[in-house]
Amino acid sequence: MKFDEIINNLAKNFFYYIFSKILRQISRIIESYLKVTNDKALILLALKKIYGTTESEEWVRIKLEELIINRVKKRQKELVIVFNANNQPFLVNGFILARLIDLPLNKGISELRDEISPIYEDVKPLKLNEELISPISYCIAYDLIKRFEKFEVQRKTKVEEILVKKEEKAQAQKREVREKQQFSTLNWIERRITSSLMRISSPGINPNQFYWQEKDTKTATDNIKLHSELGGKNVIALFTEYFQFAIEKVRLNYQMNLPSNDEILKQVNDIIEKELGKRLGHLPKKEEIEKILEGERLQVARQIAVRIGKFLDKALYEKFKNKK
């Protein structure tokens, strides 16, 4: 029995010894992984500082590059011990590269072995020769930093392209929404003007039913206010756009003396300046007009609606009168 216990104890001790060595090795690898990951953030900060240096600060760039490379060399030394890799430069430096540019270890090693090295890029397109390099090397550390720098440039470019595409998509969606809203806000006034001017000439029609009423002023005011909130243009331009659209619809259905686009713009300006001036005590500036209050926007919309109604009534009256 004692012999069996001795064998069992030896087996347990042997197992725990091997298991502890495995765990110790795994913990060292994890520790190295975390160190390189932390180094990545520091290297990024240093690179940003380097990009921001001027010609007179050349010494700053050189010093920062030296500090980065020394940090990479420190990791090389640690990994040579962790992996027992005195003659495996691609394993040691492939591990570092993989962490820097977010690759699996095998792809990091392949990248280092199979791709052109930035060390020789100004001389000749050459790859690293495993037989001529050491795991702990200033040159390989420089190579890793340059590959990481290139990776960051490509990553930023992709991010910028994605952001540009998202912005273009967002703008396209805004334009689509604005066009739909614009159609909605302009649709009522177009139908109101066109149908009235077309039907006023019909036989036996009572013209009074086509003249502008208070309910029309309310509906037009709501539409004009909504139109002025569409965005894409400044407030004056949006108010003017609606006014010009309505007058153009009157002109298309009956030829008479109507204000030009410039005159409409002046009228809108006058209305806005007068309305905002009540609160501000002076002629409003462009930025103040863009910050028009809700109540002021409603009053401006109402005054424009009333003027549209007067022009429409005049056109209806003249057309009905000429029919006789």
- Report pLDDT digits (tens) over 209-266: 999 999 999 999 999 998 988 877 899 999 999 999 999 999 999 889 999 999 999 9
Confirm whether 172 is domain-assigned: no
Residue 153 and residue 206 in one domain: no
Confirm whether 181 is domain-assigned: no
Residue 86 and residue 222 in one domain: no
Q: What is the pLDDT of residue 131?
A: 82
Residue 45: band (very low, low, confident or very high) from pLDDT cuts 50, 70, 90: confident
Cα of first residue to Cα of last residue in the chain, in angstroms, is 131
CA 216 from chain center: how many Å? Answer: 42
> Which structural domain, as residue segments, surrounds residue 31?
2-162
Q: 3-class DSSP state for residue 260?
A: coil
Confirm whether 306 is domain-assigned: yes
Confirm whether 167 is domain-assigned: no
Residue 96 and residue 149 in one domain: yes
Q: What is the pLDDT of residue 178?
A: 64
Confirm whether 180 is domain-assigned: no
* Helix spans in 200-260 (H): 214-228, 235-253
How far is Cα 71 from Cα 136, in angstroms, rounded to an integer? 12
- Sequence-distant (6+) residues with CB within 8 A of 186 are 223, 227, 242, 245
Residue 106 and residue 250 in one domain: no
Confirm whether 185 is domain-assigned: no
| pTM of the full structure | 0.51
Number of domains in the chain: 2
Residue 19 and residue 106 in one domain: yes
Residue 142 and residue 251 in one domain: no
How far is Cα 222 from Cα 302, in angstroms, rounded to an integer? 8
- Assigned token pair, 144: 């890793």
How far is Cα 38 from Cα 315, in angstroms, rounded to an integer? 77
Residue 152 and residue 276 in one domain: no
Q: What is the pLDDT of residue 180?
A: 64
Residue 28 and residue 146 in one domain: yes
Residue 299 pLDDT more than 90? yes
Q: What is the pLDDT of residue 10?
A: 75
Confirm whether 285 is domain-assigned: yes
Confirm whether 240 is domain-assigned: yes
| Boundary residue ending a domain (108, 139, 162) | 162
Mean pLDDT for all residues in the chain: 86
- What angle separates helix 89-100 from helix 58-83, to the nearest 10 degrees? 120
- Assigned token pair, 319: 């057309």
Residue 11 and residue 143 in one domain: yes
Q: What is the pLDDT of residue 268?
A: 95
Residue 237 and residue 112 in one domain: no
- Report pLDDT digits (tens) over 159-191: 899 999 988 888 777 776 666 666 678 889 999
- Report pLDDT digits (tens) over 86-127: 889 999 898 888 888 888 889 988 988 888 888 887 788 888
Residue 158 and residue 206 in one domain: no
Residue 120 and residue 252 in one domain: no
How far is Cα 103 from Cα 71, in angstroms, rounded to an integer? 20
Q: What is the pLDDT of residue 177?
A: 65
Residue 324: band (very low, low, confident or very high) from pLDDT cuts 50, 70, 90: low
Tokens 């300006």, residue located: 269
How far is Cα 284 from Cα 277, in angstroms, rounded to an integer? 6
Give the CA diameter of the chain: 132
CA distances in angstroms from 120 to 73, 115, 207, listed in the order given: 20, 12, 89
